[in-house]
Amino acid sequence: MNTTTVHPKKSPASKARRKSGGASVLTSRSLRVCTVKPAARGDARPTHRRSQTAATKLPTQIERDTLLTPEWVAESVVQEVERFLNAHLPDNFAERLAAKAQHLYPRHQHFHKGLNRPGNRGRENLLMFMRRWTAGWLKRERNPLHKKLPYSFGMGKR
């Protein structure tokens, strides 16, 4: 038997649709998408569960594993820089830092190990990385502000 031609098994719901000859068959999965809930006045309105779950933010992998919230840490780093420089950074700066941390966490083992250290070391490592990224972005995008930062901040220190 050639292992390269093995196809994954289909679920019973997909087999039921195929046997029906192309006619649409309602399954329990398709019924879950749209439910009807009565309102206070007695009128029924359909609500879509997918839109409700999309509105609630699910925790990212970094938040599940380490209990660190990168958005809060990034906001503190941005406030630290703004107070030191007495200047306003772009509004999306903290979001960019948090997005970078969330992107790197599942992909780079060194970053992953650094954030999973015992005690406060994981939080301190995340602060160090975010300070370094902030210094690098300031050097590229706002060089006069970067020149006012101490050299040690670019190394991840306070």
Which region among 12-16, 66-70, 73-77, 78-82 has the lowest average model confidence (pLDDT)? 12-16
Choose between 111 and 15: higher pLDDT: 111
Q: Give the pTM.
A: 0.60
The 3-state DSSP class for residue 98 equals: helix
SS3 48: strand
Q: Which residues pair with residue 48 across a beta bridge?
A: 34
Amino acid identity for residue 4 in this structure: T
| Mean residue pLDDT across the chain | 75
- Per domain, the residue ranges of the chain are 61-154
pLDDT tens for each residue of 73-125: 899 999 999 999 999 998 899 999 999 988 988 888 888 888 888 888 888 88
